[in-house]
Amino acid sequence: MDRRPTRAEAARRRRALFVTAGLAGLASYSWWASGLRPFSAPAYLAVGLPVGLALAALAAGGRRRRAVEGVRPGWPWAVPVLLAAGLEGAALALGGKDRAFPSLSTVLDQLLRWQGLRAVLFALWLLLGALLVWPARREGEREKR
């Protein structure tokens, strides 16, 4: 005799389907983005789109996360990130692909010649961004309830 799934079972199935579809989408997007020609408009768009989505998710997440006692705030990470972004921007402005002023992305492009490795690293970058955004979204949703 067939029985209907409980709400918990149905929720687990939906979650499993969501995770499976998300991982398939992540793998597909990473493979596609890692195959684009460096410094091209589609490559910039492939990187900029997830950044824009992450910023929109943070903005829609409500108030900023409260600091957890005993855990340092994330602002010290801003210094090396902004420094790296500044150096990258300066290198790109001075030529980017030029050996005299190589940008970090140019050096990495030489090291990452294999699309599979690029796709894995791109997927890890996307996952890191999602992990940084997801707690803020979930906390913002809890505060709205």
Confidence (pLDDT) at 17:
93
The tokens describing 131, both together, are: 């992990």
Confidence (pLDDT) at 28:
95
Asked whether the beta carbons of 64 and 132 are under 8 A apart, the reply is: no
DSSP 93: H
Distance CA 52, CA 82 (A): 17
**What does the chain come to in residues?**
145
Confidence (pLDDT) at 71:
47
Confidence (pLDDT) at 34:
92
Per-residue pLDDT of the chain (145 residues; tens, 9 = 90+): 567 878 888 889 999 999 899 999 999 999 999 999 888 999 999 999 998 888 887 777 654 555 555 545 565 666 777 888 888 888 777 776 666 767 777 777 777 888 888 899 899 989 888 887 776 545 555 555 5
Distance CA 34, CA 81 (A): 22
% helix / strand / coil in the chain, to the nearest 5? Answer: 70, 0, 30
Statement: the pTM of the whole predicted model exceeds 0.85:
no
Confidence (pLDDT) at 42:
94
Strands of the chain, DSSP E: none
